[in-house]
Amino acid sequence: MIPLDPLPNLIDQVYARILEAISDRTLEPGQRIRQNELADKLGVSRQPVSHALHLLHRQGLVAESGKRGFEVTQLDPARIRQLYEVRGAIDALAARLAAARAASDAAGRTRLETAFAAGRGIDRNTSLAELIALDVEFHRAIYHLAGNPVIEETMAPQWPHLRRSMATVLSELDYRGSAWAEHADIAGHILRGDAQAAERAALAHAQTAGRLTEERLRAGEEAAA
């Protein structure tokens, strides 16, 4: 049998750190990634960095660039639109199921209330990385309360791409407030057990986020042309 890799935890940590840097644009789209420099910054050898970059490459978050090099991939507006079309359907289903279970799942209800309260505490000084983490936790709390593990399993591989798209609009101060106003609407319907209203609100939120993200990306492409 082939010996197991002795560094899985370190690779996971390096992967998470690089993913966070890609998500909050510390590493910008198109930026070349130098493995030696990255390893020095993280205080690790090149081995876990190389493993992590190959995982990110498999997910389409980095692309090969030059001899044994990588760069951060660009966000494709059309692909983002398609992603949010799917997310809208899944989020609508999750919100409807969560509303139906809100009265009977005390732990799930508490997780959603806690996630919502944390998000309402943001201000203009909240970092982009924290904004993204709070947004993700709010939606994952809804998935959990929905009680259908297939929802979380289906969305899990999409979160790295969604985190990147979130950075496009959450970097704007105005949208931060409106996003959490929409979250308040969704959470309120779920916690009151209004399944149809929760479903409509979740779908509208995903559609708005997808439209705004696509518009910002296309505007950026035009400006760069």
**Rounded distance between C-alpha atoms, residue 84 and residue 88, angstroms:** 6
pLDDT of residue 59: 93
Q: Give Cα 17 distance to the centre of its chain.
A: 14
Q: Read off the tokens for 50.
A: 């190389």
Q: 181 pairs with which residues across the strands?
A: none
**Rounded distance between C-alpha atoms, residue 209 and residue 212, angstroms:** 5
Q: Read off the tokens for 33.
A: 């990634």
Tens-level pLDDT at each residue, the chain (225 residues): 555 455 568 899 999 999 989 988 899 999 999 899 999 999 988 999 999 999 999 999 999 987 768 999 999 999 999 999 999 999 999 999 999 999 999 999 999 999 999 999 998 889 888 999 999 999 999 999 999 999 999 999 999 999 999 988 887 767 888 899 999 999 999 999 999 999 999 999 999 999 999 999 898 888 776
**Rounded distance between C-alpha atoms, residue 164 and residue 75, angstroms:** 8
Domains plus CATH for the chain?
8-72 (1.10.10.10), 77-224 (1.20.120.530)
Q: Which residue has 């690089």 as its token pair?
A: 18
Q: Read off the tokens for 21.
A: 């840097």
**Rounded distance between C-alpha atoms, residue 79 and residue 102, angstroms:** 33
pLDDT of residue 65: 87
pLDDT of residue 3: 53
pLDDT of residue 157: 92
pLDDT of residue 173: 62
* The dihedral sign for the CA sequence 75, 77, 79, 82: positive
Strand, helix or coil for residue 71: strand
Q: Read off the tokens for 174.
A: 């105005």
